[in-house]
Structure 1
């Protein structure tokens, strides 16, 4: 049944007012029926059209945990941090500021995937929700000489969307390509203010995705490997401060000397480790599974072996993570 048909009861009163052919008795009956159906009509519309309420926004912590463990490969730190940070924030009825996560690591390690997972387990419509807003630096903010305009637009977009729904999710991709200084325009919305011009931003979630810091993360992972340690022994304290300093001092990063870092408004810097060959193999099998294909070992081995790895001699880490797995499978299937 189409939504437009379900809206019909809501037009009874206006329709009656513009129709003179009804007799008084018929008109009164129709008005009575229309008024009686209004609450039902609202409920039906409320059910089918997304609203900023518990019917459409309900966090599934168990589902997020299971998805992270099943589909995010080789990222023990990201899995732990994301699950605890998001669960704790959503369950806090009176947070003092929005949740701000900054995800860092080389391409293909799972940063975009994690953002999608959060959306899928917070909103019924997932990434298609009207309350999920994704910005890509090279697409939305391409010209350096328009930065003042971008700042105004960005403030308006954030303010307008949070006004519409307090539990809004903002995803900023390619932070390493964003013009320095631009992201500072939303600093007031991420701070510890109860309201800004009558609007509270404390229920919102901001996620930044960046390749910046990837070199430092890889260096630490390689050091652990050279020392014979397992990657699972890497702890957040081994990386968080170093990553935040690296992106803060990177002149080519959107986080260069940003007040978001200087004022400690980023709650967690989440490192994504470079993926090893065994993780690429997991990615290939998961992609086959998502296509309802059997894990053909010949195809799996071919795709895994075609990927390129570094350092050149040891071939420990995939230089593209799992990013090209999908396209390679398109070719072989």
Structure 2
């Protein structure tokens, strides 16, 4: 008779919890028998351990295209360009068994427009544990690389960290937040890992994913969106080609950005520069409604409008775009509900 999963779990808990010691000195044969049973079962079902501990296997890492598309459509507001690029880029990469290089996405836009949120959605639809996965690694410039005088040390540490984690799991994800605050030159230390190499020192990086998040380039994105608005054109008419060239140049030439004159851009190793448009009043309302739903409340349009009206908009005369996007919605909502 095939053992049931709950029996295996119980047996595993008994062995791992040390309960076999607690039943001594009744009989050592009980512990021996349990160990033998577990050993025999594991021999018959060698993959059972993967149910109990996250591993670099399909049981824990599996791309859900439908889930990502649904999340982008229902949870991300006002970002038609970013949604389209991210879905196509991640889907194409994850369904390629032999990619030529890692996937490198550089997400740009003003604060609160959804860059971190999209990174989270990507992780949740690839890794069973989402952002808590041991294969998702987040670096924040001011926390992990605070001192300019230590840049050479940071370069070495970063290389070792990436090499070690990719060696452990080829499908590792690395998220670099606050790229606009990173010391120029530091990110170039990982250039070889992003290039078109089969292997480097015996390690292949081609199935890894690198995501850079930055406010750099936000001004050029805002200017384009504002030009469309002043011309009476719908923001959904904005296409990637309206932004991409100016965005990449703006980021490359920004001396205060970690991507300033970086070889990652110079050598075309960034697969997509993903622009995040500034959010309008209606998007802030949508964010408030979504947050209420996430908290288990019935979305209330009147409350959402109150929250949206409490947000600061720019330019001062037109008041078109939210200064902080949807970043403060969660805390502001506490005041109204």
User: TM-score normalised to the size of structure 2?
Assistant: 0.91
- Alignment root-mean-square deviation, CA: 2.5
Q: Tell me how far apart the structure 2 counterparts of residues 115 and 27 of structure 1 sit (CA, whole Å).
A: 47
- 1:56 partner SS: coil
Q: In the alignment, which residue of structure 1 is the partner of 2:336?
A: 332
> What's the CA shift for 1:228?
1.1
Q: Is the 8 A contact 2:12 2:38 kept in 1?
A: no
State the partner residue of 1:288.
292
Deviations 1:81-113 (A, max 9, x none): 000000000001110000000000000000000
Cα offsets for 1:279-300 (capped at 9, x unmatched): 0000000000101112233322
1:80 corresponds in structure 2 to 84
> Aligned residue for 2:130?
126
Query: Do the aligned partners of 2:15 and 2:35 also contact (CA within 8 Å) in 1?
Result: no
Report the equivalent of 2:231: 227
In the alignment, the residues of structure 1 paired with residue 302 and residue 99 of structure 2 have an alpha-carbon distance, to the nearest angstrom, of 51
**Shift of residue 302, structure 1, vs aligned partner:** 1.4
For residues 173 and 247 of structure 1, the distance between their equivalents in structure 2, rounded to whole angstroms, comes to 15
Q: Compute the displacement of 1:313 (Å).
A: 1.3
After superposition, give the CA deviation of every residue in 1:271-329 in whole Å (9 maximum; x if it has no partner): 00000000000000000010111223332221111101111111111111000000001
Counterpart among 183, 187, 194 of residue 190 in structure 1:
194
1:275 to 276, 279, 289: 279
How far 1:33 moved relative to its partner?
Answer: 4.0
The answer to whether 1:151 aligns with 2:155 is yes
Once residues 71 and 328 of structure 2 are traced to their aligned partners in structure 1, the CA distance between those partners, rounded to angstroms, is 21
Equivalent of 1:304, from 301, 305, 308?
308
**2:102 is aligned with 1:103:** no
> Structure 1 residues 58, 110: closer, same or farther in 2, change over 3 A?
same
SS in structure 2 of the partner of residue 184 of structure 1: helix
2:65 corresponds in structure 1 to: 61
Distance in 2 between residues matched to 1:289 and 1:34, nearest whole Å: 45
- Corresponding residue for residue 6 of structure 1: 12
CA 197–7 in structure 1, closer or farther in 2 if over 3 Å, else same: farther
Gaps of 5+ in 1: 16-20
Note the C-alpha offset of 1:160: 0.4
3-state SS in 2 of match to 1:167: coil
Structure 2 gap segments, 5+ residues each: 1-5, 22-26
The alpha-carbon distance between structure 1 residues 10 and 34, as it changes in their structure 2 partners (threshold 3 A), is farther
C-alpha distance in 1 between matches for 2:84 and 2:196:
25
CA contact (8 A) 1:7 1:41 kept: no
Aligned mates of 1:212, 1:28 — CA distance in 2? 63
Counterpart-to-counterpart distance in 1, 2:154 and 2:294: 38
Alignment partner of 2:143 out of 124, 139, 142: 139
Match of 1:167 among 162, 167, 171: 171
In the alignment, structure 1 residue 264 sits paired with structure 2 residue 253: no
Verify: 1:178 aligned to 2:182, yes or no: yes
Query: Is the CA contact (8 Å cut-off) linking 1:101 and 1:270 kept in structure 2?
Result: yes
Residue 331 and residue 39 in structure 1: after superposition, are their counterparts in 2 closer, same or farther (change >3 A)?
Answer: farther
